[in-house]
Amino acid sequence: MKILYLHQYFNTPEMSGGTRSYEMARRLVEMGHEVHMITSWRGESDNKTWYETEVEGIHVHWLPVTYSNRMTYSERIKAFFKFALFSAIKATSLEGDIVFATSTPLTIALPAVYSSKKLKIPMVFEVRDLWPELPIAMGALKNPVMKFFAQKLENFAYKNSSSIVALSPGMRDGVIVTGYHKENVAVIPNSSDVELFDVDSSLVEGFRNEREWLMDRPLLVYAGTFGLINGAGYMVNIAKYLLQNSSNIRILLIGDGFEFEKVQLSAKEAGVLNKNLFIEREIPKKDIPIAFNAATASLSLFIDKPEMWVNSANKFFDGLAAKKPVLINYGGWQKELLEKHKAGISIWGLSDKDAAQRISEVIHNKQWLEVAGQASYKMAVELFNRDILALQLESILANAVNGNADKASIIAPGEY
């Protein structure tokens, strides 16, 4: 197959951010398919228009479009529509056998549907977030007219898709409730890169020894975006209660984003910054697996919004791949997964004081840590291994090309 893969925010391992599309695309290439990634370049560039590179056999078409998670909502909207316009033209010029478009943003549906219709080829749409439900819940989308058009765009994307790939069972249910055929919806969550997180113990020891505040103390690691929805600042109050109880637990927050300075200031005012809570903005991408392996347990955090419970955050699956218990502060399908497989805990619904106490209990329970770590790794290998999920995606795309899009739910039912 010649696959036209549309993702506005494609990242390689050398770039910051999630690499789901890179990992899936390179595996599709290894399976013998020709993959054209149509994406944007968000940093500084001498190029003013489209340029092409080859990454692991993927033909990557870059369009310079300024974007960062520090931009205002209106600035982001402009970036979305600029890319939508020019990527529609680019995709159509390349031709192919199938269009595979991944959100966010949902505006990716515009060039995807256009090129699908123009080239008379099927389109498969990947839903990474339930949009516009999330921005509405966050208060970012308040205008009734904008809400109306956002919901119309959502239905437009689904209506014109041969199959839909949802990143969680909750997202699948959100798609089906719009009236879309459930047989055509697959569930392929974010994945665990087991080999990537198989790190040499000497590197882990070096990571700990380089940080005098850490050494052999218990460590909780969060590695992700410091955005409005991520709620990395949640750990500030947890650190405060741990410090009050003279706990030896250390917390490391790694990342960047709109709320980075806010979280840093909050930690300073709470008296925990550089005492038992540490923040690192700059850490090489290659060192992230080392950080997870150095952790006693990994963290996946979000603000307390039920709309976020259907998330499929990379950091959750990275923790599994690193053989670490996973601690989350929200409900939903991942909470159920951790409880079912005994691979971690959710502290959702607890007061900050009680949450700190619960964390302290499990982190100092060596038997629990061992059992939960083994359970995490088993989930990573058997349920969320990237190689297995990439094969599912390839099968869904092939079936869409062959007119069997209604087999999607059988290929990847989302039962864990």
pLDDT tens digits for range 218-232:
999 999 989 888 999
Q: Are 197 and 321 in contact (CB under 8 A)?
A: yes
Q: Tell me: the pLDDT tens digits for 356-397?
A: 999 999 999 999 999 999 999 999 999 999 999 999 999 999
The encoded tokens of residue 325 equal: 């218990």
For 31-62, the pLDDT digits (tens) are 999 999 999 998 888 888 999 999 999 999 99
Does 132 sit behind a cis peptide bond, omega within 30 degrees of 0 on the bond before it? yes
Q: Does residue 275 sit in the same domain as residue 227?
A: yes
Residue 135 sits in the same domain as residue 71: yes
Are 57 and 34 within one domain?
yes
Per-residue pLDDT band for 69 (boundaries 50, 70, 90) equals low
Q: Are residues 374 and 278 in the same domain?
A: yes
Please check whether residues 168 and 211 belong to one and the same domain.
no
372/233 same-domain check: yes
**Are both 140 and 57 inside the same structural domain?**
yes
Name every residue whose Cβ is closer than 8 Å to that of residue 89 and which is 6 or more positions away in sequence: none
Question: Using CA atoms, how far apart are residues 81 and 349, in angstroms rounded to an integer?
Answer: 39
CATH of the domain at 127: 3.40.50.2000
225 and 340 in one domain? yes
Instruction: Assess whether 362 and 271 both reside in one domain.
Output: yes
**Domain-embedded: residue 238:** yes
Do the Cβ atoms of 263 and 253 come closer than 8 Å? yes
246 and 110 fall within a common domain: no
- Asked if residue 252 is part of any domain, the answer here is yes
Q: Is 182 contained in some domain? A: yes
Structural domain includes residue 53: yes
Whether residues 265 and 295 fall in one domain? yes
- Distance of alpha carbon 291 from alpha carbon 354, whole angstroms: 27
Residue with tokens 């390179």: 26
The answer to whether residue 196 is domain-embedded is no
400: left (phi over 0), alpha (psi -120 to 50) or beta: alpha
In a domain, 27, yes or no: yes
Q: 110 is in which domain, residue-wise?
A: 2-191+385-411
Say whether pLDDT at 116 is over 80. yes
pLDDT for res 363:
98
Q: Please name which of 416, 413, 397 lies closest in space to residue 405, comparing C-alpha atoms.
A: 397
Q: Domain for residue 47, yes or no? A: yes
For residue 416, being part of any structural domain is answered with no
How many domains does one find in the chain?
Answer: 2
Q: Are residues 277 and 356 in the same domain?
A: yes
